[in-house]
Amino acid sequence: MKEGDTFDPVKRVATVTGKARFLLLGERVALNLLARCSGIATKSRRFRDIARANGYKGIIAGTRKTTPGFRLVEKYGMIVGGIDAHRHDLSSMIMLKDNHIWSCGSITNAIKTARAAGGFSLLMDVEVRTEQEADEAIEAGADVVMLDNMEGEELLQVARRLRERWSGRRFLLETSGGIDENNLCERAVNEIDILSTSAVHQSVQHIDFSLKIQKSEAS
């Protein structure tokens, strides 16, 4: 099988050769990696296909809520599945969440402080809970405004009003928080540029693989 192929259960996806001892030593690590990564790729592809079938043209992304020590594998699975991996680590983009904002006293202060440290080269994603907070974030220079846990008609109308009110300002709108397959179509509206979810990698069912050793004819 080629990377990213969609397939029904088959008897063989790959052949590995080597001495039996070494194959057995690496078996469980390899199968765990393959099972976890394939499960995430499958879930990511399903999210992408559902959103595209609903007419959504924006970016679908995972989150940084990955398994400690396993981030590279899980982010790779998202990419193979056809979605965006979002941030790989804290240096990829500045993200200001509620605790950062609280510790600085306001969204404006948090953005100023972070911009002084991060400089011009890093994008800044700011989590907001209300339309008023979104206005403050845009005014203070946020590159991405995350409308956290907004749903349904509220999400749609807030996004439309922000775009109209700030038509001369360049920014992206992101929706996040509690997104799964049941409400994906409700959140995947084209007024939103980015849809980010941890449902593509947290508590995702693994794809079952096994390794069967066969004696080589040459031996």
Q: One of 2, 11, 43, 65 is an active-site residue; which one?
A: 65
Pick left, alpha or beta for residue 126 (phi over 0 → left; psi -120 to 50 → alpha; otherwise beta). Answer: beta
**Which residues, in sequence order, are bridge partners of residue 60?**
195
Cβ-proximal residues to 152 (8 Å cutoff; 6+ apart), any chain: 186
Question: Does residue 19 have an active-site annotation?
Answer: no
Q: Output the furthest CA–CA distance in the chain (Å, rounded).
A: 74
Q: How far is CA 130 from CA 78, 111, 115, 145, 164, in A?
A: 30, 17, 22, 11, 17
Q: How far is CA 86 from CA 20, 95, 136, 137, 188, in A?
A: 40, 11, 24, 20, 17
Active-site residues: which are they?
Answer: 65
